[in-house]
Amino acid sequence: MTITCISPIDGSTYVSRAVLTEFEAAEAVAKAKAAQLAWAERPLQDRIDLVSAGVANVGAMNDDIVPELAWQMGRPVRYGGEFGGFEERATHMAQLAQEALAPLEVEDSAAFKRVIKRVPHGVVLVVAPWNYPYMTAINTVAPALIAGNAVMLKHASQTPLVGEGMARAFHAAGIPEEVFQNVFLDHQTTSALIADRAFGFVNFTGSVGGGKAMEAAAQGTFTGLGLELGGKDPGYVTDDADVDAAAETLIDGAMFNSGQCCCGIERIYVAEALFDRFVDKAVSIVESYKLGNPLDAETTLGPMAQARFADEVRAQTAEAVAAGAKALIDPALFPQDGGAYLMPQILVDVDHSMRVMREESFGPVVGIMPVRDDAEAIRLMNDSDFGLTASVWTADAARAEAIGDALETGTVFMNRADYLDPGLCWTGCKDTGRGGGLSVIGYHNLTRPKSYHLKKA
């Protein structure tokens, strides 16, 4: 069996790879388990230095990575890839490691030494998505390796070259091949390995259905799971917000990467007094985009990763319009092929009876609704099965925090959106999943506490 990446640029087969058999996959796990023990015994600073060197090697490959990403998942080359965020996250976790992994000393007296240490799980499976394939992978790969785990990376079939590139970079830095392995696995083999307790921890970023499959495979094994699943992230523009700044950031958050962002903005609520101004600004921003081949430096909006993803957004949009929504962007501005290339769209006169305001779209469409006050905005923002991030726009930090306290979400932003701060825990609630990555908490999830009660006399 093989996995195949069909390029969204032209529908051609870009790359294919054979998957491991269950026997080969079990052998890979055995090698990882054997190598992990020696890796964990290395001084922490050695592991930090090796991971940092691997990250730098990825940066040196960026000229090749950028067009590879365009071919694999459609992001325009003008944006230069992901190395900025990739390096920022890895560097922050490297700098945090000594503190985050330090033993917690309870007592060191003549009679007793009592201490809690953080020890690695063993082998960590990282299942990474295609939409930000380097940044989402490094969120777990870097701290897992630094904490002393071996890592097996299973990347999305849409971006198979990403795992291979990371493996080359990390191995060239001196990380043993058995300690960091890129593997091609089908769903059945992945589930079988999890069910067989092959891993001490599994981190999955992907769909709600994929998260349910992970939970089903892990049932009864007590394997730790970190799950970042779907999202329908809202933005709220209050009556004292900077309208221009809010529109520029929220619309970019809705449309960048063709709307294929984990924490992209998928619905916007605007104070009634500012609604018309906000919508006018939003429309002018979107009308300036150029949809086209991502290899063209002038392109600002490339194709979606797969035609079926674009079809789902088309369906949600058409259903909303049929139910009374108004589409504000003229299709004549954005010639498209009916396949992966999808025009951006702004919808007004929407409500929560429409799928486009309730279900994950993961594409370049956003619905905008007016609201009377904070209470109505909070009610609507919470009226969702998902909870990853929420963006509040106001000049009053205390107001933003109070609104945030009432929101069912993993992260609250004030006057920004669509950003992952490695100093804060990346987490979600409801159907967005469970667990937390990055920050000190990320290290805690990638290790387990081990207590020592030593009686000296």
- DSSP string of 115-163? EEEEEE-SEEEEEE-SSSHHHHHHHHHHHHHHTT-EEEEEE-TT-HHHH
The tokens of 212 are what? 């349910």
Q: What is the dihedral of CA 90, 436, 362, 371, to 10 degrees?
A: -120
- Separation of alpha carbons 116 and 447, rounded Å: 12
Q: What is the dihedral of CA 253, 254, 255, 260, to 10 degrees?
A: 90
- 186 phi/psi in degrees, rounded to 5: -85, 170
Report whether 201 contacts 226 (CB < 8 A): yes
Q: Is 262 an annotated catalytic residue?
A: yes
Which of 5, 68, 87, 262 is the catalytic position? 262
Q: Per residue in 153-185, is it b (16+ CB within 10 Å) or e — as a string?
A: bbbbbbbbbbbbbbbebbbebebbebbbbbbbb
Report whether 265 contacts 254 (CB < 8 A): yes
- Separation of alpha carbons 262 and 163, rounded Å: 19
Which of 228, 266, 312, 360 is the catalytic position? 228
- Separation of alpha carbons 231 and 431, rounded Å: 8
Q: What is the dihedral of CA 235, 356, 73, 59, to 10 degrees?
A: 10
- DSSP string of 251-300? HHHHHGGGG--TT-EEEEEEEGGGHHHHHHHHHHHHHT--BS-TTSTT-S
- DSSP string of 200-265? SEEEEES-HHHHHHHHHHHTTTT-EEEEE----EEEEE-TTS-HHHHHHHHHHHHHGGGG--TT-E
- Separation of alpha carbons 26 and 328, rounded Å: 54
Q: Is 178 an annotated catalytic residue?
A: no
Nearest to 223 by CA among 140, 109, 112, 124: 124
Q: Is 380 helix (H, G, I), strand (E, B) or coil?
A: helix
- DSSP string of 319-333? HHHHTT-EE-S-GGG
Q: Per residue in 103-141, is it b (16+ CB within 10 Å) or e — as a string?
A: eeeeeeeeeeeebeebebbbbbbbbbbbbbbbbbbbbbb
Catalytic residues: 228, 262
